[in-house]
Amino acid sequence: MWQHLEPGSSPVDWCEGNYLISPLIAEFVNTFSNVLFFLLPPVMMYLFREYARFVNPGIHVLWLLLIVVGISSAYFHATLSLIGQLLDELAILWIFMASFSMFFPRRFFPLLFHNDRKLFSLAAVVFALIATFLAVLHPIANAFALMTLGLPAFLLLIHELKRCESGRVYRLGIRCAAVWLLAVACWLNDRLFCETWLALNFPYLHALWHILIFIASYTALVLFAYFAVKEERPDTTPVLRYWPREDFELGVPYINNTMWRYLEPGSSPVDWCEGNYLISPNIAEFGNTVSNILFIVCPPLMMSLYQEYCQCVHRGIHALWVMLIFVGLCSAYFHATLSFIGQLLDEVAILWLLTAALCMFYPKRLFPTFVYCDRKLFSWTMGVSAVLFTALGVLKPIINSFALMVLGSGVIILLLLEIRSNIISVTYCFRMTGRMQRLGLRTVAVWVLAVACWIADRVLCDTLRSLHFPYLHAIWHILIFIASYTIIVIYSHAYVGAEFDNLAPILTYWPKDNFELGIPYITIHSTNKKN
C-alpha cells in the first residue's frame, strides 16, 4: 500500500514534462491550473446564499466538492502518485453523484423510486460507494464510471435547454456546452497527440482542460439549479443574474432575485461613525478609506528591506507583506462602498493574514502534540481551519468576527510570552535584544490604543459627532497597521532564535535589528557571532 503514496506511482502521466519548473512539483502548470477550483467556489457560496436558504441548502455541498476536486487534482499532478489519481477521480465521481441526486428531473425517475428524491439520492449514494470500493480495487472501474456519467449529464443539459423559454439561460447553456466540448478536445489532444504538442513547445493542453472543465462544471451546476427551481418550485420565478455586472453575460452566473442587493453600496449592516458621502460623492467613508494608505504604500518598501532575510531565513516573509497590501485594498473597498461583499473581503483578508503569520512564526515549543513539532503539518492544520472559517463566515458573518477576535488576541498573548521567555531564558544562544523587547511592549500598547479607538467609534459615536471628530476608526487603521507591522518584525527576529538556536555555532548568518527614522526592520549579517 505504501508504494501507492510515492511520487510517480501512478501509471498516468500527462504531456507536460515532470519537475522542469520546480524540483518539488511534478507537473507545475497542471498543478497550478486548478486555482479556479479554490478561488471561485467561495464566491459561488456567497452568491447562492439566498438560494440555499429558500430552495436547497445542499447547493453549498456542490461548491465544497468543487474545492475538493481542485485539491485532489493539484495533489495528483504535483506528485503523480496512484493515491492522488484515485482521490482526483473519486472526487469527480462524488460531485457527479451529488449533482444527480440534487438536480436529476423527477419526470425521469425510474418507477421503483415512486417519484421520491430522497430514495433516489440514497440509491445514488449506494452507487457512489460501490464505485468507490471498486475503484480502490480496480482503478479502471473509476474511469469507466466517469465516462458513463459524463455523457448523460451533457445530453440531459441539451434536453433541458430545448425546453427552456429564457433566451438568457439558453445562451448560457450553449456557451456551457461549447466550453465542455472544447475541454474534452484539449483532454484528447493531450493524450493522443502529445509528441506533436511537445514539438510545438506547448504541452499544456491538460492545464487548459482544468480551466475549461471548471468553467463548464460550475456553469452546468448553475443551469441545473435553475432547471430544478423551475420544476420543483413552480410557484417561484428564478432569475439568472451575472456578477459583477448584470449586463455582462461573460461574468459569473448565479440564480437569485434578491442576492444582488448584498453587492450594492450600503448593503453592509455595519456603518461606522464617520458620515457617508460627506467629502466625496463616490466614497462613502472618505477618512476611513484613505486611512488605509499605509497598508498599500509601506509593504513594498518592506519587501525591499527584507530581501536578505527572505533569502537566508524564511521566504514566506514576503507573503505577509503582500497580504498586508490585500488587507488595505479590501478595507478601502469596504469603507468606500459599505457593501456586504466588501465587509466579508475585509474580514477574510485579516483572518488569512493572522493565519499566515501564525503558520510562519508560531513557536514549536507550543505546538499541539498531534502535529509532532512539524511546522508543515501545523501549517496545513491552520490552513484547513482558515478555509473552514472562511466558508462558515460566508454563511454566518458573525463567525468571522469571532475568529478574528480569538486570533488577534492570541497573537498579542504570544508576543508577550515571547518577550517574557527571552527575558528569563538563560539557555538560548540567541536572545531577543533589549530594543526588540521594548519595541514589543510599545507594540502591545499601540494595539491596546487601537482597540480602544475601535470600541470608542462603535460605542461613543454620538459624543464623537458632537465633538466634530468621528474619525477614530481611521485612527484605528493607522494604529493597527503600525502594530501589525511591528509584530511581524518582532516575530521574524524571534523566529531565528526559536528555530535555529541549536545551530547557532555553525550558522553563517545572523539577524540584526535596525531602526531608521524610527522604522524597525531586520537585516542579515554573514557571521558566526551574534550581533
d(CA 529, CA 531): 6
Q: Give just the sign of the alpha carbon dihedral 337, 338, 341, 346.
A: positive
169, pLDDT greater than 50: yes
Q: What is the pLDDT of residues 248-259, one digit of tens each?
A: 888 889 887 554
Of 372 and 461, more confident: 461
- Dig out the grid coordinates for 172 from the structure: 448560457
- Dig out the grid coordinates for 26 from the structure: 511534478
pLDDT category at 264 given cuts 50, 70, 90 is low
d(CA 367, CA 382): 11
Q: What is the pLDDT of residues 312-336, one digit of tens each?
A: 777 778 888 899 999 999 999 999 9
d(CA 297, CA 303): 11
260, pLDDT greater than 60: no
Q: Give just the sign of the alpha carbon dihedral 342, 347, 348, 350.
A: positive
Q: Cα 301 to chain center, whole Å?
A: 26
Q: What is the pLDDT of residues 521-531, one digit of tens each?
A: 777 765 544 44
| 89 among annotated binding-site residues | no
Are the C-beta atoms of residues 189 and 173 closer than 8 Å to each other?
no
| 14 among annotated binding-site residues | yes
| 77 among annotated binding-site residues | yes
Lookup result for grid cell 480602544: 452
Are the C-beta atoms of residues 489 and 439 closer than 8 Å to each other?
yes
| 13 among annotated binding-site residues | yes
**pLDDT at position 211:** 94
Torsion of CA 348, 352, 354, 359, to 10 degrees: 160
DSSP secondary structure code for residue 283 in this structure: B
Q: List, in order, residues 6 or more apart from 60 with CB less than 8 Å away.
A: 45, 48, 52, 395
| 27 among annotated binding-site residues | yes
pTM for this model (two decimals): 0.54
- Mapped onto helix, strand or coil, the DSSP state of residue 353 is helix
pLDDT category at 499 given cuts 50, 70, 90 is low
Q: List, in order, residues 6 or more apart from 144 with CB less than 8 Å away.
A: none
The alpha-helical segments, DSSP class H, found in 261-337 are 286-290, 293-305, 307-312, 317-337
Q: How far apart are the first and last CA of the chain?
A: 51
d(CA 16, CA 210): 13
36, pLDDT greater than 80: yes
Domains of the chain (ranges, CATH numbers): 2-263 (no CATH), 286-525 (1.20.1070)
- The pair phi, psi for residue 431, each rounded to 5°, is -135, 150
Torsion of CA 255, 257, 261, 264, to 10 degrees: 60
Are the C-beta atoms of residues 94 and 125 closer than 8 Å to each other?
no
Q: What is the pLDDT of residues 186-195, one digit of tens each?
A: 988 988 888 8
| 473 among annotated binding-site residues | no
Q: What secondary structure does DSSP assign to 96-113, as a single string?
A: HHHHHHHHS-GGGS-GGG
pLDDT category at 231 given cuts 50, 70, 90 is confident
